[in-house]
Amino acid sequence: MNQSEVLRELGKIGAARRGQLSEQWYEVKGKNGESRRTGPYYVLARCIEGKKTFARVPREDAVRVKDELERGKAAAALISAFWANAEALADEKKTTGRPGRMPSDRNCVRPPRS
């Protein structure tokens, strides 16, 4: 996939997120001593500027956030492909962009003086 195709695909992604969504359940004891599970509660964890952040996600938004996380993974793969293409282009220019040079006379062996 070349650079323009990668950019075109990135443009199609739309809303996306980085991070992961975890589902949490809590066990609570009722007045009668029976334990029951409550939940699920959703937490979005992600790293922003080197710091882990956590945010509760309402149950009704969990499906939308999961979809955005999937699109985020697709965006990350495309960005990685973009970098691979860009670095390949840079390496191509590095090897083909410089004309060959003639060796210097300074380092060659000279015949002895008479």
Cis, peptide link before residue 40, omega less than 30° from 0: yes
pLDDT of residue 101: 62
Q: What is the pLDDT of residue 77?
A: 95
What pLDDT shows up at residue 33? 86
* Residue 107 domain-assigned (yes or no): no
Q: Tell me whether residue 41 is in a domain.
A: yes
Q: Per the domain annotation, does 68 fall within a domain?
A: yes
Averaged in consecutive runs of 10 residues, what is the pLDDT profile of the chain (114 residues)?
90 95 93 90 95 96 97 96 92 67 62 66
What pLDDT sits at residue 55? 96
Residue 110 inside a domain? The answer is: no
**Per the domain annotation, does 33 fall within a domain?**
yes
With b for 16 or more beta-carbon neighbours within 10 A and e for fewer, the 76-103 pattern comes to: eebeebbeebeeeeeeeeeeeeeeeeee
pTM: 0.71
**Containing domain of residue 26, as a range?**
3-90
